[in-house]
Chain A
Amino acid sequence: MQRNPQLNANGELQHLLSIEGLPREILLQILDTAESFVGVTERDIKKVPLLRGKSVFNLFFEPSTRTRTTFEIAAKRLSADVINLNIAASSQSKGESLLDTVANLSAMHADLFVVRHASSGAPYLIARHVKPHEHVINAGDGRHAHPTQGLLDLYTIRHYKKDFARLTVAVVGDILHSRVARSLIHGLTTLGTPEVRVISPQTLLPAGVESLGVHVFHDMREGLKGVDVIVMLRLQNERMTGALLPSAQEFFMNYGLTAEKLALARPDAIVMHPGPMNRGVEIDSSVADGPHSVILPQVTFGIAVRMAVMSIVAGN
């Protein structure tokens, strides 16, 4: 097995490609740094000069509004210059290869690439080919990883629950296609969460999911009993009918989070969702907007977490 491509020779974070394989200390360093940035985002003047003079290229090979925007805000709050490239609509459609695109941008003196790509592993390929002073942050690759989302989920959980050591966390929905679920599960297990559950029909679970360190539940009511944190996953439209599921309605009946099912969790349970939400498919509006929901604070923390990741990799 090759050396972990995310770490430099001193074991520091060179690129953020996946939460898997990152030591606990680095995860905590990111969460602690993010905490110091939460204050910045609440000030009148929301800027710190940590990345002044640096260029951040948002390379989105797959459309995204929310993630791209939060990365852009985070980079700007660190005083970086931000260039947004919607590659899905430009050079790739002219036949330019992924690595050629990156080499060209590198020639424009990039410091940091934020990459989203529909193919699992694409940021690894880019990270293998960038110059030593350039950094890659994975903003979501295929089904593989979405580490900044995982980190902001961890941040949110720590914010409300303080400690991972006694928590039971349930992740509900389409685990098979979810990079969010994979990143969060790796983060939770690395930080010592004693019980992580996945709740899903067999058709939406990858083979051997238990090897990630989770307990599998098919019955949502059973799986939610006594949990501290509920993470609902987005169900993509194209998965709602066909061979994976018969219909969105039936999915909601079995795996949608309603007030009645939420009542099975601990009274102080929090409800999270990476967004964008399908109200009435995976989550009922009364829950999404209810007192247990921390879905909007997740978005706010997301900016601080992305500021933390960018400032840490750029400093290494």
Chain B
Amino acid sequence: MDTSSLALQYLLSGVTKGSIYAVVGIGFNLIYSATGVLNFAQGEFVMLGGMLAVTLLAFAPLPVAITGAVVVVALLGCLLEVVFFRKLRRHSVLHLIIITIGLSIVIQDVALHVWDERVRSLPYFTGSEISSLSFLGASVSPQVLWVLGMVTVIVVMLQGFLKYSRPGRAMRACASNPEAAMLAGINIPTMRMLSFGLSAGLGALAGCVISPITMTQYDMGVPLAIKGFAAAILGGMGNPLGAVVGGLSVGVLESFSVSVLPAAYSDVTAFAVLLVVLFVRPHGLFGKPLGEGVREH
């Protein structure tokens, strides 16, 4: 394989991984703008989506299993908001974040007991592991197209939802000024619950489409959460489209790092990107430095 097609191969694998980080990053954004909480358990939604779909597949065809998994995880997201975050509004943000860390660990351990530590995966949506399409000299699994297609659909639909639908606009109002939104008759607790549900559901869907490629395991959540967070920060918190660009950049960087560094360090690259962005441009690549939120001085 010559260099250019090798580069293309890396690029494709980076974009595939990166699109999942993008979805996780969008999930961070949704919850963060509605509630101000950074949900460390974001990666667990992805894991649960994949795991539930694999289990449901024993009883139902693939599309039904995936839908079922997404709905269950979305409901779980709503439940978490109601049980843990609604009552605790008066707690400091730091405390809320610590609670999400606790949740992440408990969910992981429950998943370990329900599904044990084996690696599972959904079957390829079309074709099998060995089927591949050739694209400008690089070979692409049809699943990659599924991932990219699904993520594109998610992003477009979400933008449409937030821009044009009534609940979407209410959510945005709630994010930009909760008090004014409340005065305008928007039910803020419901919007917060909705943001958790939506973010969990999107994560679960991402977990299903990526499962045939990267497999699903009970402990996949934490690295995914960090990389998704890196995507969200890179794009600027509160900017879902920015998270897409951020996610793709993290994925591509991680994927190209394999050509320079040992493969065992590919995660290190992604985490290092996070640190550099946090230290140098915590308001993201496209954001303006705001006094509020990120930095103190």
- Chains A and B come from one and the same complex: no
Give B residues with C-beta under 8 Å from A.
none
